[in-house]
Chains A and B, each alone.
Chain A
Amino acid sequence: MPDAPRTLCGRLRGWGFVLPGLVWTLAFFLLPLAVMALYSLWQRLGMRLVTELSLANYRAFLAKSFFLESLLNSIEVTVTVTLLSILFAYPLAWILAEKVPPRWQRIGLALAVLPFWTSYVVRSYSWLLVLSEGGLLSTALQDLGLVDGPVSLANSRAGTVIGFVHFFVMLLTLTIYANLSQLPRNYRRAAQDLGAGPVRTFLHVILPLTLPGIMVGAFLTFVLCIGDYITPQILGGNRELLLPQTIMLQIARRSDFPMASALAMVLMALVTLVYLACARWLKLERV
């Protein structure tokens, strides 16, 4: 397919096209990662930056329960969010693809992802309006006589999880719907002709065929969720910290870039591990 000149001159021209983007990526993506990796091996002692290579930050990470706990919190929250989002999004995607007449599907889908278009910070703030003390939820529960005093789900893990699930249900509905709507109708008919009921058809035909859509969505959810600072900071508060909050704390409060870099490296390693574990389902290289 590449048909352009195979001469040296043509090849140089090809490089010329790629070069600007390549330089940008090297200078502002790869170099910063390398700098950060180097920083993670340095140390901040008092106000001084010690540029001697050591694993002290990583040792601190393993030794201080404060750091390990935030990693565990992050993993717990992320796994919970991923599972809940799949559970809620799958039926919605299925209803959209199967029960809604084709010409309404686009509108149904657009409506299902409408809050995507609010700004990220604003979306978390909107949940604060619903979940905080005196907010909509509290008022509604009180009016119904279900609770006595005002209740608040803000500043808690529940708040973080609700905010996250809200966003990722939209994302997963998109990926699963995309997968479902591409399934040929014949498969279902074939399964029925062969005597499978609706439940068996779903479990043995539809579900396995939509696994790629689920996996892509779940992977995206995991990566975006575990690296997010905004939602836990606004909705979860400071009572228990997730890893990105701990990282930001090192930067903003303590200006401890080396420790923050080490924690960021841990975060990156975790995401890479999950990627490698999912790689065979993701088939990203085909994209």
Chain B
Amino acid sequence: MPRALRSALPSPGSLAAGAYAALLYGFILLPVLVLVLFSFQDSRLPVPPFDGPSLRWYGAVFDDPRVMAALGHSLLVALGASAVSLLLGFLAAYGLARHRLPGARGLQLLLTAPLTVSYLIIAMGLLITFNSLGVPRSLWTVGIGHVVINLPLCFAILYSQMGGHQAQIERAARDLGAAEHQVLLLVTVPLLWPALFACFFLSFTFSWDEFLIAFLTSRFDVTLPVEIWSMLRSGLNPKTNAVGSFVFLISVALVLLLELVVFGRKRR
């Protein structure tokens, strides 16, 4: 075989690697493809043969007041919980990174501890506690639970980003006569802006997608994952495909936005 030709052909190793990658990508992407494809199904069952495309199930989703209400609740809880998590996480990270506090190590451990406990246990603890205190379950209690899981995340990320370099810039601002709140708002926050955005975004997606806490601590008003959960009781249904595909579309759009805003800036 001529040498040029041989080097143009992929080696057996690369071929095997390519085949393996194709197989795994197939496995990873298969359920999403099936979900989206059969959301355009025309008949009542989202199984082969495909007889679409039809938008009737998307119509059914947008006409369903329960789904639309759940969508609104999810947005509300996710925005609120992310904002509170970000604020509390930022303040705690600033306090611990810039002030010498006794027991700082223990505080750090305590603040990040919820990351190591499964949602089921956090949800149960909240349910039992609210129950015994007579606090009614509502979107508020869901939001409280979502701050519990997102606060440690925001704290950990922001704490890791508050390096000595920024401390020096802050000191310079202080030397130039800036008051503490001015340092915070005019120096620290702008310096940390990409990390702050990433934290908010991460919290938002976690809250948006969270099921167990929302399931156990809500009652009449539910979030979207809980509503989808109750839709599953009717078995396989193209309408569920349509809701799922719609949520997926929103998430991917958000990811692209994050990519553009945070990483786009860094690369330039």
**With the chains together, A268 CA to B120 CA distance in Å?**
10
Instruction: Specify which of B21, B29, B114, B160 is in contact with A287 (CB 8 Å cutoff).
Output: B160
Q: A164 at interface (Cβ–Cβ under 8 A)?
A: no
Q: How far is the CA of A161 from the CA of B96 in the complex (A)?
A: 42
Distance of A119 from chain B, by nearest CB (Å): 5
Query: How many chain-B residues does the 8 Å CB contact rule pick out?
Result: 86
Residues 37-55 (chain A) with a chain B CB within 8 angstroms: 39
Which one of A20, A21, A31, A121 has the highest number of Cβ atoms from chain B below 10 Å of its Cβ?
Answer: A21
Highest count of chain B CB atoms <10 Å: which of A10, A28, A36, A166: A28
Q: Is A251 an interface residue (CB 8 A)?
A: yes
- Chain A residues contacting B98 (CB-CB under 8 Å) are 2-4, 14
Across the interface, which residues of B come within 8 angstroms of A32, CB to CB?
122, 125-126, 128-129
Asked if A21 meets B89 with Cβ closer than 8 Å, knowing A29-B122, A117-B251, the reply is yes
- Cβ–Cβ contact A118 & B248, under 8 A: yes
Question: Which residues of B have CB within 8 Å of A206?
Answer: none
Query: Could you say which residues of chain B place their CB within 8 Å of the CB of A33?
Result: 117, 121, 125
Tell me the chain B residues, 155-205 only, with Cβ under 8 Å from chain A. 155-156, 160, 164, 167, 171, 180, 205
The distance from the CB of A280 to the nearest CB of chain B, in whole angstroms, is 16
Q: Which residues of A contact B127 (CB under 8 A)?
A: 251
Q: Does B42 contact A (CB under 8 A)?
A: no
Determine whether B101 belongs to the interface, using a CB cutoff of 8 Å to chain A.
Answer: yes
Q: In the docked arrangement, what's the CA distance between A53 and B118, Å?
A: 26
Interchain nearest-CB distance for B22 vs A (Å): 10
Q: Are A117 and B248 in contact (CB under 8 A)?
A: yes
Do A18 and B255 touch across chains, with their CB atoms under 8 A apart? no
CA distance A170 to B25 in the complex (A): 10
Partner among A16, A24, A31, A130 whose Cβ is within 8 Å of the Cβ of B95: A16
Which residues of B from 57 to 113 have beta carbons under 8 Å from A? 87-89, 91-92, 94-101, 107, 110-111, 113
Cross-chain contact B29 with A29 (CB below 8 angstroms) = no
B7 within 8 A of A: no
Bound Cα distance from A264 to B100, whole angstroms: 37
Given contacts A21-B92, A25-B151, A169-B28, contact A3 B167 (CB under 8 A): yes
Contacts of A122 in B (CB 8 A): 35, 228, 240, 243-244, 247-248
Q: Which residue of B lies closest to A39 (CB)?
A: B128
A267 in contact with B232 (CB, 8 Å): no
- A205 interface hit (Cβ, 8 Å): no
Partner of A166 from B28, B125, B145, B211 at Cβ < 8 Å: B28
Whether the pair B120, A267 counts as a contact (CB closer than 8 A) is: yes
| Bound Cα distance from A35 to B205, whole angstroms | 29
Tell whether, in the assembled complex, residue A111 and residue B29 are in contact, meaning their CB atoms are under 8 Å apart: yes
Checking A20, A28, A227, A247 against B119 with a beta-carbon cut-off of 8 angstroms, the contacting residue is A227
B100 — which chain A residues lie within 8 A by C-beta?
2, 4, 6, 11, 14
* Cα distance A189–B135 in the bound complex, in angstroms: 64
For B238, the closest partner residue in chain A by CB is A129
Q: Is A95 in contact with chain B by the CB < 8 A criterion?
A: yes
Minimum CB distance partner of B251 in chain A: A117
Q: Distance in Å from the Cβ of B159 to the closest Cβ of chain A?
A: 10
Give bound CA distance, A251 to B126, whole Å. 13
- How far in angstroms is the closest Cβ of chain A from B10? 10
A267 touching B118 by the CB < 8 A rule?
A: yes
**From residue A242, how far is it (CB to closest CB) to chain B in Å?**
11
Expressed in whole angstroms, the Cα–Cα distance for A95 and B34 within the complex equals 26
Q: Quick check: is B257 within 8 A (CB to CB) of the other chain?
A: no
Q: What residues of chain A lie closer than 8 Å to B221, measured between beta carbons?
A: none
Listed in ascending order, the chain B residues whose CB lies under 8 Å from chain A are 14, 17, 20-21, 24-25, 27-32, 34-35, 38, 45-48, 87-89, 91-92, 94-101, 107, 110-111, 113-114, 116-122, 124-129, 131-132, 144-145, 147-148, 151-152, 155-156, 160, 164, 167, 171, 180, 205, 208-209, 211-212, 216, 224-225, 228-229, 232, 236, 240-241, 243-244, 247-248, 251-252, 255
A-B contact pairs, 15 of them (CB 8 A): A17-B94, A28-B145, A33-B121, A35-B132, A99-B17, A119-B209, A119-B228, A121-B229, A129-B35, A136-B34, A169-B28, A244-B120, A247-B124, A251-B216, A257-B128
* Further pairs besides A25-B114, A126-B31, A257-B128: 15, Cβ < 8 Å: A11-B100, A14-B98, A18-B92, A18-B95, A33-B117, A39-B128, A112-B24, A119-B209, A120-B225, A121-B225, A121-B229, A122-B248, A128-B236, A248-B120, A287-B160
